[in-house]
Structure formats: C-alpha cells, structure tokens
Structure 1
Amino acid sequence: MTDTAQDLAAVIARIEEEERELVLPAFTHDDAWRLGCLLVELAEERDLPITIDIRTGSQQVFHAARPGTTPDNDSWVQRKVATVYRFGASSYLVGRQHAARGRDFNEAHGLPLQEYAAHGGAFPIRVGGVGIVGVVTVSGLAQADDHALAVEALRAFRS
C-alpha cells in the first residue's frame, strides 16, 4: 500500500465510523430548521462562503446561501444529494471509495456528471430503526471541509 492508499483507507474508515455514529432518534421539519440554523451560525462565525441545504425525502426543507456563493453551488448540492440517495452513503465516502480503487465515479457507474457528484459535503440523515430520511449538504469549500462542517453540525445537533 502506498502512503496515498493508506491515507485513503484511513479517511474511508473515519467516514464509515461517522456514519455509524451519527444516527438520530428522529428527524422532523423543525429539526431540519434547527440543524440548518446551526450551520448558518457556524458559517457566519467563520465567514464561510457556503450553501446549506437540508432535505427530507425529496423535499427541500432548508436552504441558505451565504455571500460568496453562486448558483453553481446549488448544482453541486443537487448532484451530491443524488449520490447520497442512490448509494446510501455520504457523497465523500462514495468518492473516496472510488478513489481508493483508482476508478472515476461517474465512468464506473455510467452516471452523467451533470446529475451525480461523489464529492464531499452531502451526509445522510439516518434515524435509528428507519434508515436514511434525509440529507444535509454543504457546498462551497474544499470537499473534505464541506464534509467536516456537515459532520460537525450533526454532532452538535445530536448532543
């Protein structure tokens, strides 16, 4: 294993642990609002140019775009969300798994780049005993940072 492969393996293991850890007892529209507002607060404190999106099923229940974002961030959000729903895992995990195999995600699955993106930032909202009920997405930073911010907010929300 090269250092890069070892690094990818460590990142993949960490993301898999985050997905096991961040299971909620329930998730409502009011919860989506609170989680979204928490992300907005973090973004304001750090002056981050991000778009925040929360979905339950196919319904967008929270959306905010900070200064410095563009409509392109909304496209990234949609494509990351589609990846989570199709593969049942965070967009970052799906992308890192493909990178570890040396495979291009979109080519490997014959998926159009305009519809799917395996880049960090979309994280499944799981409810215990139910499964994935929604997705929280951050777009605007480097993919590892988008992912980390979504995870940080989910951890704080769950506490």
Structure 2
Amino acid sequence: MLDTLPPPTTDLHALAKEERSFTFAHFTCEHAWVIGNILRNALRTADAPALIHISLSSSQTLFHSPSMPGLVPDNEIEVARKRATVLRWGHSTWWMWARFGGDDRKFAEEYGLWEGEEGRKKYAIQGGGYPVFVKGVEGVIGVIVVAGLEGDVAHGVVVKAIEEYRELRDGFRSPLRSMTVK
C-alpha cells in the first residue's frame, strides 16, 4: 500500500491549498479516534511500524498508538519535533521540507536555529506532521503526526487517511449523538 502512494507535490501553493481543503467543521476526540484508526489499520496492512499521534494545540493528546511492534524511543522525539514545527509555522512538515528543499541547515539558519543545539532538536521538517484546521478558528487547532517512516511516505499516509475520513463522514452520524443522557 505504501509503495502505491503517489509522491507528494513539492509545490508550496498546492500543498497549502491541500492543507486548507481539509478544514473541519469541528474537531473532537471522536474525529481523532477514527483518523488514528484509519492510519493504524493502513500501516498494519502495509507491515509498517510507525507511531501515530493526534493532539490539540493545547497539548491534549487525543490519539497515540504504535501501528505495530518495531519502534524505537527516537520516534517519540520525532513526534514532538514534527508537532512543534506544525504548531509554530502553521503548515505541514512536508510543506516546510518543500520550502527549504529538504535542507535542515537552510531551514535552521532562516529562523536562527542553527546556533546552539536547542533549535535543531526542537523542530523537524521531514514529512509526517500535518495541521488540523477548524472553520472559523484562527490558526492550527491540532496536529496529526506519523513518525518512523520516510517523510514523503508519512505525508502521503496522513493525506490518504484524511481523505478516507472525509469519505466516511459524509452521511455519518455518531451513535452517541442519538443517545439521551438521563
């Protein structure tokens, strides 16, 4: 499955348009659960160990799971770095990668992060970090991250999962919404 994903574009305008095309009417733990499970099932089917993380900009974690065994502690660090990049610049980490041609040094120098270890350890520009936007809310409200895959593949997997979620949600009504609380 992963080898059949088309390579993501590196056109910044097209990437920004793609990011905004996934603007949600609202975003809750239910959305995160479904998207997280779409990702987990796709990665398990592809026999690809990766760490999936979905959280709000407030740092509240909504979904966090390995797809399967085979991860290393560095994947947790990678999640944090991708998340920080998306929240600071408001774009996917693949957009940032495309903007700087994959050049970490150029990226770090542009934002004064090269001097000293702190900046280089805090942010990552390889793909796999994706912003969550909500209609009527300024800025990024959450982040979807896949860590442990090549950047272009991680970006493609997240985009594919959001597309699949969008197809699923059309006409979907949560069974919880029809329940009455006594």
Alignment CA distance shift 1:141-1:38 (3 Å):
same
Q: Percent identity?
A: 36
Partner of 2:37: 37
State the Cα distance separating 1:11 from its structure 2 match: 3.6
* 2:154 is the counterpart of 1:146: yes
Aligned residues, how many? 152
Q: Distance in 1 between matches of 2:88 and 2:24?
A: 21
2:126 aligned counterpart, secondary structure: coil
Partner of 2:27: 27
Q: Distance in 2 between matches of 1:87 and 1:102?
A: 15
Residue of structure 1 aligned with 2:121, choices 114, 117, 121: 114
TM-score, normalised with respect to structure 1: 0.87
Alignment CA distance shift 1:46-1:101 (3 Å):
closer
Q: Distance in 2 between matches of 1:102 and 1:9?
A: 19
Partner of 1:155: 163
Q: Higher Cα Rg: structure 1 or 2?
A: 2
| 1:119-146, Cα deviation, whole Å (9 max, x unpaired) | 1000001111114210000111110000
Q: Which amino acid aligns with 1:40?
A: R
State the Cα distance separating 1:10 from its structure 2 match: 4.6
The answer as to whether partners of 1:24 and 1:158 remain within 8 angstroms in 2 is no
1:123 aligned counterpart, secondary structure: strand
| 1:105-127, Cα deviation, whole Å (9 max, x unpaired) | 12221221111111100000111
Q: Which protein has the bigger strand share?
A: 1
Q: Distance in 1 between matches of 2:107 and 2:100?
A: 6
Q: Which runs of 5+ in 2 are unaligned?
A: 1-7, 114-118, 168-182
Q: Distance in 1 between matches of 2:123 and 2:64?
A: 19
Q: Distance in 2 between matches of 1:108 and 1:64?
A: 33
Q: Distance in 2 between matches of 1:139 and 1:114?
A: 15
Partner of 2:46: 46
The answer as to whether partners of 1:91 and 1:123 remain within 8 angstroms in 2 is yes
* RMSD over equivalenced CA pairs, Å: 2.1
Q: Distance in 2 between matches of 1:94 and 1:48?
A: 24
Moved over 3 A (4+): 8-11, 100-103
* 2:82 is the counterpart of 1:75: no
2:136 aligned counterpart, secondary structure: coil
Q: Which amino acid aligns with 1:52?
A: I
Q: Distance in 2 between matches of 1:124 and 1:27?
A: 12
Residue of structure 2 aligned with 1:98, choices 88, 95, 100: 100
